[in-house]
Amino acid sequence: MDYDIKDTSLAPQGLLRIEWAEREMPVLRAIRERFAQERPLAGQRLGACLHVTTETANLVHTLQAGGAEVYLCASNPLSTQDDVAAALVTELGVPVFAICGEDNETYYRHINAVLDAQPTLTMDDGADLVTTLHQKRTELLGNLLGGTEETTTGVIRLRAMAQKGVLKYPIIAVNDANTKYLFDNRYGTGQSTLDGIIRATNLLLAGRTLVVAGYGWCGRGVALRARGLGAHVIVTEVNPLRALEAVMDGFRVLPMRKAAEEGDIFVTLTGDKNVLRSEHFEVMKDGAILANSGHFNVEIDLPALEEGAVNRRRLRPHVEEFTLRDGRRLYLLGEGRLINLAAAEGHPASVMDMSFANQALCAEYLAREAGQLAVTVHSVPQEIDEEIARLKLASLGVEIDTLTPEQEQYLASWQEGT
Ligand code: ADE
């Protein structure tokens, strides 16, 4: 079997950590049991480009139980957990192509190694696999039944492809399921981003001014949790509706040019580039900390930061100091890559349980509907979304009410008023 990972001897530790995550993934476990009976993915070759974590290992195990042959590469050069990659190779027999800290060339070589398996389904996080396929490996497009996309950034890229008429096979936007973004993006990113910042720096957040760039679901989560730790939170936005929500959620909203003067810690989660750039670096306080939790490392203008610096040194594993010409020092965390996976372990398993239940059930749906779906970006079918919410509630031991027949009839009628 072909694979490219750091060190197979790390497997025993990876296996124990995968087992630990599994305890928090009851919905995925239930799907795995059914998949093992029904084998809905038999005959599928599934090319996955995902963060190689303990949670992803549990997803891969589930897809294998469903009968798929899974090939896995990393969706970010810094997010791979090398012990998990080792366990996947040695214990589950999965061809994994991922090494933490790989350079850009290796990153794309690994994507191409997964594509060499001629997948019939793709599972992407950020759309690098799909865009490579559409630009460099077009001879493989004819094999594809469908794909899924995990994250906001990937869905934005895929919608742009669909709009321009270049997308060649149907994709399901897993990110947009309620059981994904309301939990993973908000509570997962909220907790894991602060976990990454704290593990990298060991800073006390209480009393600090933390600037959150972007008030999408991820930004909301970070703002909410930072407030809970006692930080003074400032939000920056370009969307008036989101800015208004941030105001009414009780946050200060400022343009970045002004927030830059006040912040002790900056976190970008916008999905766009150069959100923090020279004009902001110029006015930041000495000691300001810069972190990104968006998918790509483009949100902080790194070339501008490098150009403006007279000295650079690494102080801790994920903390790099840039001394500017006037002597002020700015601290970049995790090379500007998504801090929750670079310096911590990504989202906790309990939310990935729902995100990856969506992935598994959407893979089953794509295999079942093969050839029937229009070539565009699709929503997750509502039955899948609701089923996952039901299973998660049941696993938490939470019961809810059901409508009485009289209530159902009332909701379906219009004549009865005051
Ligand atoms: N994205 C964010 N957190 C993750 C995790 N723990 N595993 C896989 N993908 C993730």
At the fourth CATH level, the homologous superfamily of domain 8-180+348-395 is Adenosylhomocysteinase-like (3.40.50.1480)
| DSSP conformational letter for 320 | E
Q: How far is the CA of 55 from the centre of ligand 1 (A)?
A: 7
pLDDT the model gives residue 166 = 97
Find where tokens 């946050």 sit.
251
Distance 101 CA to ligand 1 centre (A): 17
Per-residue pLDDT, averaged over 62-68, amounts to 98
pLDDT, tens digit, for every residue of 329-353? 999 999 999 999 999 999 999 999 9
Is the pLDDT confidence value at 370 over 90? no
The ligand 1 atom at the shortest distance from the C-alpha of residue 345 is 6
Is 44 within 8 Å of 121 (Cβ atoms)?
yes
State residue 255's pLDDT score: 98
Nearest-atom index, ligand 1, CA of 338: 2
Residue at 177: amino acid letter: A
Render pLDDT for 176-234 as a digit per residue (tens, 0 to 9).
999 999 999 999 999 999 999 999 999 999 999 999 999 999 999 999 999 999 999 99
Q: Which residues line ligand 1 (CB under 6 A)?
A: 50-51, 53, 55-56, 346-347, 352
Per-residue pLDDT at 371 exceeds 90: no
Distance CA 293, CA 205 (A): 17
Portions of the chain given CATH number 3.40.50.720: 188-342
- Per-residue pLDDT at 375: 97
State pLDDT tens for residues 153-168.
999 999 999 999 999 9
Is the per-residue pLDDT at 14 higher than 90? yes
Class of domain 188-342: alpha beta
pLDDT, mean of residues 11-27? 98
Backbone dihedral angles phi then psi of residue 208, each to the nearest 5 degrees: -85, 155
Would you state the pLDDT for residue 179? 98
The pairing of beta strand 329-333 with beta strand 171-173: unpaired
Mean pLDDT of 100-117: 97
Q: What is the mean pLDDT of residues 42-69?
A: 98
Place of tokens 């997964």: 114
Mutation test residue for ligand 1: of 347, 351, 355, 358, the one with most atoms within 8 Å of CB? 347
**Would you state the structure tokens that stand for residue 9, as one six-digit string?**
């001897």
H or E, element range at 211:
strand 209-213
Cα 178 to ligand 1 centre (Å): 17
Which is nearest to 370 in space by CA: 66, 120, 150, 140?
120
Tens of pLDDT, residues 293-333: 999 999 999 999 999 999 999 999 999 999 999 999 999 99
Mutation test residue for ligand 1: of 59, 123, 149, 341, the one with most atoms within 8 Å of CB: 341
Q: Give the nearest ligand 1 atom to 349 CA.
A: 6
Location of each CATH 3.40.50.1480 domain in the chain: 8-180+348-395
Q: What average pLDDT is seen over the chain?
A: 97
